[in-house]
């Protein structure tokens, strides 16, 4: 049992507030990704959970125990670092065994657990090598094996895949998911890569400016962003935001009419590029195409709606040309309405 | 291009090669030759006389004793100081600057400064007298007090030359990414374990450089010893000086010089072997 409760954690560096009252609960065995652009405070939060930084105020509770003032080694967790931090002067075996050795485990137990972790990460064949002789991907595996060998209640990962090339990253991502699912470890995973977060996590906490903007399952975050930032950060292409006039519950763009929440505020229509489809007869929301990019699986159309920039995803065989005006139909259930002033989503009518 | 580049590197290093040959290699060969010659013939006479000298075994013993006490103490002190300095957030540069001031002082001046502190009418005795701990001027640096003289020399050497070890070790510590220590901390290593299992092994190349430099210089120790004890505490370099200047016997002085060189080279070889870092263990 190791759930993690992050309770109103604040971190200040001098006058700079890196974290502003962040609260988050991670359930036992859950995989939560902290996702956000660089400088959003995600790594700071992870280091506070690990005990490598001290929070200015707030509490960290792991498995019911308040660990806020404990040193890292007493928190019962393991961590994978961005640059792996695999010890260069030890063999792969000794690296993986490090945590067990610190726990003064018997040699037979060390051997058994190291071999199991090594088998899980497919590094059995180079246990007697030194890390300098390994590739980046292999070192990454050693770092993960070192963390899993101690069978931690909590696993923290700080951008563990960001130093790998794209193909290897994809491969490791899939493998990591399988391995961690099997281990059932409560995991907090820091990344700036939304595909990693979407692919791996049970829930994603999107962070921005030292705050958690939204927390939810990958689908929730994607389909119903809580703020303009989340909509714009998640998804490729990012969500389009079109300023519209909403009067008496209806927003009109061209000859299209969409039901909108009647709040009387300035608002923006948040529209995902793939949630719009080309209407057969040119009716609907008018979209002026400027650039057509064939991406293989789809066409990426860049242009404008009502003079405002927008990106739309179309089927790969669609017959469209730059300079053309097409009509878009939109499912009202799949759009997001954003309050222009606060940047927050407005509840659907 | 290839034809032109073939001689340019040689031409560029030629001046320094010529400089080294004229001012370093030549005197070295001459010294070695001088030490092995009697008149115009090859001979071990100088070495025989050196080894037969009354002060010789004492000088060997003293030099080794001093090196074996001073160098380990300096490394331990420098390691402690370097670890503390690298942990400082504010005023780090100021502290480092103050700690390295002794490096800017010539060893003779350092010896004289310690003499002013420790001689019969020195500041130490004045202070002890004022506190009523001694009756009058007390000798600490005489032949009758060999241990306090030895202790004084050790103290002066520690004060004078620990900073060079410190500077090398701080440079080395800064090269070690902090993630290694953090990872060790996460996986349960206590501070002392982190120091011995992570920091020290990764600091080995710097330790090796510092030890070579300090040990070679320790075997050449002279000015501080001469200022504090004169010939009351004979050391190898001091004997070479005495034979050269007081006794005007260049051959025996050369033999001492060659002996010091041989000891230094041997010590360096030992360090290179024992503290070797295999290439695959480099970060």
Q: What is the pLDDT of residues A83-99, one digit of tens each?
A: 899 999 999 999 999 99
Q: Which of A229, A246, A261 is the last residue of a domain?
A: A229
Mean pLDDT estimate for chain B: 91
User: What's the full length of chain B, in residues?
Assistant: 283
Residues B281, A89: C-beta atoms closer than 8 Å: yes
Helix (H) or strand (E) run with residue A181 in it: helix A166-183
Among residues A7, B230, A198, the alpha carbon closest in space to that of B241 is found at B230
Q: Which residues of A294-332 are buried (b: 16+ CB within 10 A; e: fewer)?
A: eeeebbbbbbebeeeebbbbbeeeeebeeeeebbbebee
pLDDT score at A347: 76
- Both tokens of A222, joined, read 């994607």
Task: Determine the pLDDT at residue B40.
Answer: 77
User: What is the pLDDT at residue B144?
Assistant: 83
Question: Higher model confidence: residue B40 or residue A126?
Answer: A126
Here the CATH number for the domain that contains residue A82 is 3.40.50.300
Using one digit for the tens of pLDDT, what is the confidence trace for A230-279? 999 998 899 999 998 888 888 888 778 888 887 777 889 999 999 999 98
Chain-centroid distance, C-alpha A182: 21
pLDDT for residue A349 is more than 60: no
Is residue B165 a contact partner of residue B74, using CB atoms and an 8 Å limit?
Answer: yes
Same domain, residue pair A250 and A181 = no
Burial track B83-103 (b if 16+ CB lie within 10 A, e otherwise): eebbeeeeeeeeebeebeebe
Integer CA distances (angstroms), A194 to A199, A205, A212, A298, in order: 8, 11, 15, 20
How many domains, chain B?
Answer: 1
Closest partner residue to B186 (CB to CB) among A79, A88, A130 is: A79
Whether B208 is covered by a domain: the verdict is yes
Residue contact A73–B182, C-beta within 8 A: no
Cβ of B186 and A50 within 8 Å? yes
A190 plus A335 within the same structural domain: no
Residue where a domain stops, chosen among A229, A259, A287: A229
Q: Is residue B40 part of a domain?
A: no
**Where in the sequence is the domain holding B211, given as residue range(s)?**
55-281
B83: confidence class by pLDDT, cuts 50, 70, 90: very high
- Determine the Cα–Cα distance for residues B131 and A204; give it in Å rounded to an integer: 72
- Would you state the pLDDT for residue A169? 85
Listed residues A191, A206, A229: the one ending a domain: A229
B-chain CB neighbours of A50 within 8 Å are 186
A157 with A245, same domain: the answer is no
Same domain? For A242 and A199 the reply is no
A76 interfaces chain B, CB cutoff of 8 Å: no
pLDDT at B261: 94
Q: What is the pLDDT of residue A180?
A: 85
- Report residue A348's pLDDT band, with 50, 70 and 90 as the boundaries: low
| Residue A31 pLDDT exceeds 70 | yes
Chain B residues with beta carbon closer than 8 angstroms to that of A129: 280
Main-chain dihedrals φ then ψ at residue A282, nearest 5 degrees: 80, 5
Domain coverage including residue A75: 4-229
* List of residues 6+ apart from B150 with CB closer than 8 A: B65, B66, B233
The pLDDT confidence band at residue B94, using thresholds 50, 70 and 90, is very high
Is residue B119 pLDDT above 60, yes or no? yes
Structure tokens at A71: 């040193």
Minimal C-alpha gap between B103 and chain A (Å): 33
Q: Is residue B224 part of a domain?
A: yes
Question: Chain A contacts of B186, Cβ < 8 Å?
Answer: 50, 52, 72-73, 77-79
Please indicate, yes or no, whether residues A95 and A138 belong to a single structural domain of this protein.
yes
- In this structure, of A286-300, A315-329, B111-125, B132-146, the range with the lowest mean pLDDT score is B132-146
pLDDT given at position B3 = 58
| Measured distance CA(B204)–CA(B271) in Å, rounded | 11
Are B282 and A72 a contacting pair at CB < 8 A?
Answer: no
Distances (CA, A) of B139 to A245, B116, B148, B227, B235: 99, 13, 9, 15, 21
Show which residues on chain B lie within 8 Å of chain A, measured between beta carbons.
177, 179-180, 182-190, 193, 198, 201-202, 204, 277-283
Nearest residue to A168 via CA among A201, A135, A192 = A135
Cβ contact A74:A67 at 8 Å = yes
DSSP state of B101: G
Is residue A77 less than 8 Å (CB to CB) from chain B? yes
Q: Determine the distance in angstroms separating the CA of B206 from the nearest CA of chain A, rounded to an integer.
A: 15
Residue B255 covered by a domain: yes
Task: Examine the domain organization and report whether A307 and A218 are in the same domain.
Answer: no
Put simply, whether A71 touches B (Cβ < 8 Å) is: yes
How many residue pairs bridge chain A and chain B with CB atoms within 8 Å of each other?
65
Give the DSSP H/E element, type plus range, for residue A176. Answer: helix A166-183
Task: Tell me, yes or no, whether A202 and A246 share the same domain.
Answer: no
Predicted confidence at residue B5, as pLDDT, reads: 72
Q: What is the CATH number of the domain that holds B228?
A: 1.10.3720.10
Q: Mutation target for B interface from A13, A75, A87: give the one with most B CBs within 10 A.
A: A87
pLDDT value of residue B2: 54
The two three-digit tokens of residue A276, written as one number: 């719009």
Q: Is the peptide bond before B132 cis (omega within 30 degrees of 0)?
A: no
Q: Which residues of A touch B201 (CB under 8 A)?
A: 89
The residues, ordered by sequence, that sit 6+ positions from A36 with a Cβ below 8 Å of its Cβ are A42, A192, A206, A207, A208, A233
- Mark whether A248 and A200 lie in a shared domain: no
**How far B166 CA sits from the closest chain A CA (Å)?**
23
Residue B258 in 3-state DSSP?
Answer: helix
Q: Does A130 touch chain B (CB under 8 A)?
A: yes
Kindly determine whether residue B202 and residue A89, on different chains, have CB atoms separated by under 8 Å.
yes
The arrangement of strands across the sheet holding A285-294 comes to: A276-278, A325-330, A285-294, A299-305, A308-314
Average pLDDT over residues A292-299: 93
CATH number for the domain spanning A311: value is 2.40.50.140
Please tell me whether residues A134 and A196 are part of one structural domain.
Answer: yes
For residue A164, the model assigns a pLDDT of 81
Q: Are residues A264 and A314 in the same domain?
A: yes
> What is the total residue count of chain A?
349
| CB-based contact A319:A328 (threshold 8 Å) | no
pLDDT, chain A, mean: 91
Q: What average pLDDT does the segment A177-193 reach?
A: 89
The 8 Å CB, 24+ separation contacts for B58-63 are B58/B234, B59/B234, B59/B235, B59/B236, B59/B238, B59/B239, B60/B236, B62/B233, B62/B234, B62/B235, B63/B219, B63/B221, B63/B235, B63/B236, B63/B237
Verify that A200 and A93 share a domain, yes or no.
yes
User: CA-CA distances (angstroms) from residue A118 to A92, A107, A145?
Assistant: 9, 16, 6
Query: By the 8 A CB rule, do B173 and B196 touch?
Result: no
Per the CB < 8 Å rule, is B280 touching A50?
no
Closest in A52, A89, A99 to B188, CB measured: A99
Calculate mean pLDDT across residues A210-232.
94
Q: Do the chains contact at B187 and A52, CB–CB below 8 Å?
A: no
Contact between B188 and A73 using a beta-carbon 8 Å cutoff: yes
Report yes or no on B32 lying in a domain: no
Can you give the pLDDT at residue A179?
Answer: 84
Burial label, A199 (beta-carbon count in 10 A; 0-12, 13-18, 19+): middle
Q: Dump pLDDT digits (tens) for A95-116.
A: 999 999 999 999 999 999 999 9
CB A293 within 8 A of CB A287: no
At B223, is the pLDDT very low, low, confident or very high (cuts 50, 70, 90)? very high
Q: What is the mean pLDDT of residues B73-101?
A: 92
Question: pLDDT confidence of B43, banded at 50, 70, 90?
Answer: confident
Number of domains into which chain A is organized: 2
How confident is residue A124, by pLDDT bands cut at 50, 70 and 90? Answer: very high
Q: Which of B190, B202, B282 sits opposite A132 (nearest CB)?
A: B282
Q: Is the distance from CB of A177 to CB of A161 less than 8 angstroms?
A: no
Top-confidence residue, A225 or A182: A225
Q: Given this model, what pLDDT does residue A259 score?
A: 87
Shared-domain flag, residues A42 and A185: yes
Query: Tokens in use for A6?
Result: 């992050």
Yes or no, beta carbons of B182 and A71 under 8 Å apart: no
């Amino acid at each position: 049992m190791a759930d993690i409760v992050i309770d109103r954690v604040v971190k200040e560096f001098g006058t700079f507030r890196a974290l502003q009252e962040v609260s988050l609960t991670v359930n036992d065995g859950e995989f939560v990704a902290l996702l956000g652009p660089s400088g959003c405070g995600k790594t700071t939060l992870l280091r506070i959970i690990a005990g490598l930084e001290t929070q200015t105020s707030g509490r960290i509770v792991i498995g019911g125990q308040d660990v806020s003032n404990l040193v890292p080694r007493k928190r019962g967790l393991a961590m994978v670092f961005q640059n792996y931090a695999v010890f260069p002067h030890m063999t792969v075996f000794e690296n993986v065994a490090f945590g067990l050795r610190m726990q003064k485990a018997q040699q037979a137990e060390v051997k058994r657990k190291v071999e199991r972790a090594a088998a899980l990460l497919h590094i059995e064949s180079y246990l007697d090598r030194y890390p300098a002789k390994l590739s980046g991907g292999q070192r990454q595996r050693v770092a993960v094996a070192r963390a899993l060998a101690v069978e931690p209640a909590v696993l923290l990962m700080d951008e563990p895949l960001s130093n790998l090339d794209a193909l290897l990253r994809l491969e490791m991502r899939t493998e990591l998911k399988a391995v961690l699912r099997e281990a059932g470890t409560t995991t907090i995973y820091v990344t700036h890569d939304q595909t990693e977060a979407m692919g791996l996590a049970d829930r994603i906490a999107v962070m921005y400016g030292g705050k958690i903007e939204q927390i939810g399952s990958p689908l929730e975050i994607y389909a119903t962003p809580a703020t303009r930032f989340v909509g714009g950060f998640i998804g490729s292409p990012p969500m389009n935001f079109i300023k519209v006039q909403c009067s008496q519950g209806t927003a009109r763009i061209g000859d299209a009419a969409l039901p909108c929440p009647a709040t009387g505020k300035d608002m923006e229509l948040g529209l995902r590029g793939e949630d719009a489809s080309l209407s057969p007869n040119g009716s609907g929301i008018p979209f002026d195409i400027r650039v057509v990019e064939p991406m293989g699986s789809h066409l990426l159309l860049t242009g404008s709606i009502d003079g405002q920039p927008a990106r739309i995803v179309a089927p790969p065989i669609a017959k469209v040309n730059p300079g053309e005006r097409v009509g878009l139909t939109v499912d009202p259930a799949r759009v997001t309405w954003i309050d222009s002033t606060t940047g927050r989503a407005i509840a659907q009518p | 291009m290839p034809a032109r580049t073939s001689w340019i590197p040689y031409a560029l290093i030629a001046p320094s090669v010529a400089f080294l040959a004229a001012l370093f290699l030549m005197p070295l060969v001459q010294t070695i030759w001088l030490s092995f010659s009697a008149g115009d013939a090859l001979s071990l006479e100088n070495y025989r006389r050196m080894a037969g000298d009354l002060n010789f075994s004492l000088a060997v013993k003293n030099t080794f004793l001093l090196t074996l006490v001073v160098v380990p103490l300096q490394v331990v002190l420098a390691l402690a100081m370097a670890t503390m300095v690298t942990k400082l957030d504010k005023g780090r540069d100021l502290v480092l600057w103050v700690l390295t001031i002794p490096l800017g002082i010539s060893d003779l001046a350092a010896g004289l400064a310690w003499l002013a502190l420790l001689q019969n009418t020195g500041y130490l005795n004045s202070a002890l007298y004022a506190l009523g701990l001694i009756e009058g001027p007390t000798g600490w640096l005489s032949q009758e007090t060999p241990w306090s003289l030895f202790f004084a020399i050790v103290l002066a050497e520690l004060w004078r030359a620990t900073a060079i070890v410190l500077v090398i070790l701080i440079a080395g510590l800064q090269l070690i990414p902090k993630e290694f220590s953090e990872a060790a901390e996460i996986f349960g290593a206590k501070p002392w374990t982190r120091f011995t299992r992570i920091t020290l092994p990764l600091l080995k190349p710097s330790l090796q450089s510092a030890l070579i430099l300090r040990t070679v210089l320790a075997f050449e120790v002279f000015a501080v010893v001469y200022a504090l004890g004169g010939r009351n505490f004979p050391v190898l370099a001091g004997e070479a000086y005495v034979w050269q200047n007081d006794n005007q016997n260049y051959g025996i002085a050369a033999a001492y010089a060659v002996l010091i060189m041989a000891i230094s080279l041997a010590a360096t070889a030992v360090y290179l072997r024992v503290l070797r870092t295999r290439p695959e263990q480099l970060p």
